[in-house]
Amino acid sequence: MSPAGASEPRPCVFWRTAHVLVGVVLICLPWTRAWENNLILSFYPQIEPVMLSAFFKGAVIGLGIDNVLVGIHDVIQAKFGARRRAAGNFF
């Protein structure tokens, strides 16, 4: 634990930012041309129907939304969690 008033360690900020950025990429990527014209599909054309299906794209978008929500939750916990623990309110 860092002392009161100390800045947050950089790895925590990095992971929160990474959660949000990966989430945004996973939300946007399935609907771009890069998703349809990628190296994996050229090497394995048999998986093309699966990767281009709306169900699979929706699952990837769901993972992206989950990543964004985890990042936002971590930021909220970092911001308000210390105050709640200091006040003795854990719930």
Residue 60 belongs to some domain of the structure: yes
Give the count of domains, the chain.
Answer: 1
Task: Concatenate the DSSP letters of all residues of 17-80 into one string.
Answer: HHHHHHHHHHHHGGGSHHHHS-HHHHH-GGGHHHHTSHHHHHHHHHHHHHHHHHHHHHHHHHHH
Burial annotation 16-29 (CB, 10 A radius, 16+ → b, else e): beebbebbeebbee
Residue 75 belongs to some domain of the structure: yes
Residue 16 belongs to some domain of the structure: yes
Residue 32 belongs to some domain of the structure: yes
- State pLDDT tens for residues 30-88: 999 999 988 988 899 999 999 999 999 999 999 999 999 999 988 888 777 766 666 66
- pTM, full prediction: 0.73
pLDDT at 91 over 90: no
Q: Which domain holds residue 66?
A: 10-83
Residue 23 belongs to some domain of the structure: yes
Residue 45 belongs to some domain of the structure: yes
Residue 65 belongs to some domain of the structure: yes
CA–CA separation, 36 and 79 (whole Å): 40
Residue 90 belongs to some domain of the structure: no
